[in-house]
Amino acid sequence: MDNICYFRPKWVGSPVTTNEKSVTPKSIERRGKNSKKKGEVDPVEVYCRVRPLDNPDDNCCVKPLSTSVVQLIPPENSLAVARNGQIKEYQFTFQYVFDEYTSQKAVFDYVACPLVDDLIRGKNGLLFTYGITSSGKTYTMTGSPKDQGILPRCLDVLFNTISGVQAKKYVFKSDKMNGFEVQSEADAMIERQKRDLMPGITTPKTPTAQRRGNFGDQERISDPTILSSVDDDNQYAVFVSYIEIYNNYVYDLLEELPYDPITGYKPPQTKILRTDSSDCMYVMNCVEVEITSPEEAFEVLFKGQKRRKVAHTALNAESSRSHSIFNIRLVQAPLDPRGEEVLQDPDKICVSQLSLVDLAGSERTHRTKNAGDRLKEAGNINQSLMALRNCMEILRDNQKNSSNKMVPYRDSKLTHLFKNYFDGEGKVRMIVCVNPKGDEFDETIHVMKFAELSQEVLIARQQQVRFDIGLTPGRRKMNYKEKFKSEDDLCTAAKVPAFDFSLGPGFPPFELLRSSDDIVLPQLEKFLEERQKRREAMQLELDRQSDEFRAQLVEFERSYEQALVQNEELQQRVEKSESYVQKLEGRIRSLEKRMEENSRNYKESERQKRELAAMIQDKDVKIRQEKSEKERLKSDFRTRLDMNNQHWERNLEKERQKIEQDYGGQIWEKQQKLNMLRNIVNEGDSDAAMPAPQETFRTPAPKVRTHTTPGKLLSARSENDMRKIGNTPTPRSRTATTGTSLSAARANLRPTPRSTSNTPKPTPAYNPRHRRSRSSNAEIWLDHRPPGSVELDTVLQPKIKKKKSVSKLEVKDTKEASKYMLTHQDMDSDDNLTTKIYKGECLPTAGGGTAVVFNDVEELKQTSPGSRKRRSSCPQPQDFEGEWSDVEDRCNIAIEGHGNARKRSKPGSATRV
């Protein structure tokens, strides 16, 4: 017995349809689903069987009108009459109506035999008996030994048909995943030997009565039908399993229950339904037995029936309390090209299945007078039958209205297990059993209504299939071994003379009539000699054969020991793989959960993705719109800008030309005036000395440049500018030009080769008469003492009310001040310190800068009492040029500041520091 999975209502292998097209199992399944649409469908075929009344005097409420119509007449005491107040007859049409006189054989031939034929041809079938309790379901399905029902007849006919083409046991093996694999005959033989010899796995011997295939100890009458659907070039093997669904739990009726000497047999474990890799439902870890004869099949059936839950109810002394399912799986595969063995290709295996279901009675609880466990049972039975009805109704509605409502197969184990039949393909047939007793009318009417409705459910038609693997037909017939099955046949065929172990003819007459008999004695002597020779030859042959046998025995023992070892190893491996399978199952369960979760998440994320994609599309459209709007604005703006630029350029050009005209005249005028002044000054210099300026500390020496005439100093933008502004360079002189600016003076005093240009340049505009506000004594002095100046510590100090002292001149400082004074210190060779303070007016220029017009110099000389020379931090005066150059350096700071200011001023405007 194999502890293997079963239930695979589909093809494995590569069968082909009659029109020679290769069809894989998947494609068959797919086509099965589509074929509903194409019309290749068959309805669920429902047959009605009316059983005879137990008591002929009983009220009868069922009357078969024809071979397809049956009439139900409610008795007066029925609920229907009570409800309607009148007797209303009901008529139901079925595929065929069998009356009470129909034999078991007729029912089998009409309903089940075609399913067996289909099974052999590789098609699936489901047949169930349905009806209220005691309506004859079990009778129709199983029957009695003398009058067998459908199930035993199916087995009889199946084995009758495949008897010559059966594969040896264990050639086909379960792959433990609801499928089959094929092994060589040699491997199968080893497995057979192992199973027969090993104590642990020996098949229990069948009782003699059952060996004959009887029900218990009753002799049965088998069905002699032989079908012609078998393919000679195929090998066939039959596997059966037997389960029951009780209280919506699945139990294996063939499972060996563990026995405990104290507590007895342990209760059976419930089985779970699983889906295999092809989405087919099967009972996990269900025992599936390979049977080679109807006798073995009956042994299995008998064993299972003993285990069926049978309980007594008020209606039927042996009412089946569970749904029983006897499952026959026929495995077939083609022979190899030599016609000897099955082709070793698992893809060429074809598995078909016939499920025979004896449903529990569909009685109502109040009628059975059930209570407690029995009541619960009845509830569960009705529940699963209700689930079957629901599924049928929804299937019918879906097919009628082309709707896609979910069929609640999972509501009960019964419907879940047969899901593949309704969803996939194969034939589904139902026999509605009816008890014509008037009391049963109210129950029977429900059964009939449902049965009639079931006929509207359509099942996809399974394709006619046969193998086409490109091998020559008739391989089996050509096979040598098959031709000469017996050993004698083989010997004859091989012309091997068999050894004759007889002693030959009997003794010759050895009666001695005389003492000297020379005839009898020599004859006897000769005979005995020959017999002796013959015995010796026999002894020799016997010895040879016994030696041979001994060698074979030794060989066998050796292989037996090897097999034992192998068996142990195998058992260990089986145990290991079982635990591994359990682990895998656990993982599969968790993976299934995760897969469900993932698919939910995937759907959710798909939805979000779609939403986001829609949003992105919207945004893209908006962005494109905005982009095009921007482009439009940009081009508008560019056009306007160009127009403006052109306008401004034109204006500016005009303005520039105007200014050039205006300033050109002014500059020329000023240049003329300057030339005139220069001439005057040059003339005046030779005539008279300048009057002494006002002296604060001391009247400056004539060698010191003093300014007596204010308003004649101007600054330039840079040294270069100053040079350019300056007139023709004069010879270096210590006498300052009266009224010239410091820079101008310097420009005059320092002949520089760079000052080559005589072109008059425009003077930055400032007002020499401008005075910054002097209200409330606002004359602010800017005291510029360059870093490094030494403290005078003199007694006489300039008295200035408001002043701002800086060491580095910034433009902003000149803005607030109205007066400017620059301290300059020199030390001569006698260590006498000379401090000069250059004073000037700060005048704002048109460019936003400040011009300083130096108008005075104060000089303070401090003479050292001793003649000791000391070093001063001040730079050593060298000559007048050096002095002026120093002043110029300091002023440069102001000029730089002016440069900065100039950068900020408008282009073209005059600037000052």
Binding site for ligand ADP (CB under 6 A): 51-52, 131, 133-139, 316, 319-320, 361, 433
Minimum distance, C-beta of residue 359 to ligand ADP, in the bound complex (Å): 9
Helix, strand, coil shares of the chain as percentages rounded to 5? 45, 20, 40
Minimum distance, C-beta of residue 393 to ligand ADP, in the bound complex (Å): 23
The full 3-state SS of 696-729, as one line of letters, equals CCCCCCCCCCCCCCCCCCCCCCCHHHHHHHCCCC
d(CA 234, CA 826): 134
**Nearest-CB residue to Mg ion?**
138
DSSP state of 904: H
d(CA 618, CA 635): 26
Question: Is the Cβ of residue 51 or residue 475 nearer to ligand ADP in the bound state?
Answer: 51
Using CB distances below 5 to 8 A depending on partner kind, what does residue 51 bind out of Mg ion, ligand ADP, none?
Answer: ligand ADP
Structural element, H or E, at residue 852: strand 850-862
Minimum distance, C-beta of residue 103 to ligand ADP, in the bound complex (Å): 9
d(CA 87, CA 445): 14
Question: Is the Cβ of residue 320 or residue 850 nearer to Mg ion in the bound state?
Answer: 320
> Do residues 68 and 96 make contact, with C-beta atoms less than 8 angstroms apart?
yes
Minimum distance, C-beta of residue 321 to Mg ion, in the bound complex (Å): 9
Minimum distance, C-beta of residue 368 to ligand ADP, in the bound complex (Å): 11
Using CB distances below 5 to 8 A depending on partner kind, what does residue 135 bind out of Mg ion, ligand ADP, none?
Answer: ligand ADP
Tokens of 527: 């005979």
**Nearest-CB residue to ligand ADP?**
136
Using CB distances below 5 to 8 A depending on partner kind, what does residue 715 bind out of ligand ADP, Mg ion, none?
Answer: none
Question: Is the Cβ of residue 52 or residue 207 nearer to ligand ADP in the bound state?
Answer: 52
Question: Is the Cβ of residue 132 or residue 331 nearer to ligand ADP in the bound state?
Answer: 132
State the first-to-last Cα distance of the chain, in angstroms, to the nearest integer: 120
Question: Is the Cβ of residue 238 or residue 431 nearer to ligand ADP in the bound state?
Answer: 431
> Do residues 356 and 326 make contact, with C-beta atoms less than 8 angstroms apart?
yes
Question: Is the Cβ of residue 134 or residue 322 nearer to ligand ADP in the bound state?
Answer: 134
Question: Is the Cβ of residue 142 or residue 763 nearer to ligand ADP in the bound state?
Answer: 142
Minimum distance, C-beta of residue 382 to Mg ion, in the bound complex (Å): 15
Minimum distance, C-beta of residue 431 to ligand ADP, in the bound complex (Å): 11
Using CB distances below 5 to 8 A depending on partner kind, what does residue 131 bind out of ligand ADP, Mg ion, none?
Answer: ligand ADP
Minimum distance, C-beta of residue 316 to ligand ADP, in the bound complex (Å): 5
In the list 14, 104, 135, 138, the residue contacting Mg ion (rule: CB under 5 A) is 138
In the list 104, 320, 384, 415, the residue contacting Mg ion (rule: CB under 5 A) is 320
Indicate the residue type of 417: L
Structural element, H or E, at residue 588: helix 520-687
Lookup result for tokens 């399978």: 581
Question: Is the Cβ of residue 234 or residue 444 nearer to ligand ADP in the bound state?
Answer: 444
Using CB distances below 5 to 8 A depending on partner kind, what does residue 134 bind out of ligand ADP, Mg ion, none?
Answer: ligand ADP
> Do residues 357 and 128 make contact, with C-beta atoms less than 8 angstroms apart?
yes
Question: Is the Cβ of residue 52 or residue 908 nearer to ligand ADP in the bound state?
Answer: 52
DSSP state of 216: T
What mask of x and - would describe binding to Mg ion in positions 830 to 869, judged by CB under 5 A? ----------------------------------------
CB atoms within 10 A of CB 155: 29
d(CA 476, CA 487): 19
- Separation of CA 689 from chain center: 110
Indicate the residue type of 681: V
Using CB distances below 5 to 8 A depending on partner kind, what does residue 52 bind out of ligand ADP, Mg ion, none?
Answer: ligand ADP
Question: Is the Cβ of residue 142 or residue 850 nearer to Mg ion in the bound state?
Answer: 142
d(CA 842, CA 833): 28
Using CB distances below 5 to 8 A depending on partner kind, what does residue 316 bind out of ligand ADP, Mg ion, none?
Answer: ligand ADP
Minimum distance, C-beta of residue 133 to ligand ADP, in the bound complex (Å): 5
Lookup result for tokens 């009845």: 378
Minimum distance, C-beta of residue 501 to ligand ADP, in the bound complex (Å): 58
Query: With 0-12 CB in 10 A as exposed, 13-18 as middle and 19+ as buried, what is 797?
Result: exposed
DSSP E strand stretches across 715-828: 781-784, 803-806, 819-827
Cα torsion 595, 597, 602, 603: sign:
positive
Half-sphere exposure of 325 (CA within 13 A, CB side): 27
- CA Rg, the chain, in Å? 65
Q: Does 129 bind Mg ion (CB under 5 A)?
A: no
Minimum distance, C-beta of residue 131 to ligand ADP, in the bound complex (Å): 6
Question: Is the Cβ of residue 133 or residue 248 nearer to ligand ADP in the bound state?
Answer: 133
d(CA 845, CA 890): 20
Q: Which stretch binds Mg ion (CB under 5 A): 241-249, 317-325, 589-597, 801-809?
A: 317-325
Using CB distances below 5 to 8 A depending on partner kind, what does residue 522 bind out of Mg ion, ligand ADP, none?
Answer: none
Tokens of 2: 């194999």
d(CA 462, CA 9): 11
Q: Does 305 bind Mg ion (CB under 5 A)?
A: no
Minimum distance, C-beta of residue 226 to Mg ion, in the bound complex (Å): 30
Minimum distance, C-beta of residue 138 to Mg ion, in the bound complex (Å): 3
Lookup result for tokens 């041979």: 548
Using CB distances below 5 to 8 A depending on partner kind, what does residue 133 bind out of ligand ADP, Mg ion, none?
Answer: ligand ADP
Lookup result for tokens 């300014």: 707
Question: Is the Cβ of residue 139 or residue 251 nearer to ligand ADP in the bound state?
Answer: 139
Using CB distances below 5 to 8 A depending on partner kind, what does residue 13 bind out of Mg ion, ligand ADP, none?
Answer: none
Summarize as ranges the residues that interact with Mg ion (CB under 5 A). Answer: 137-138, 320
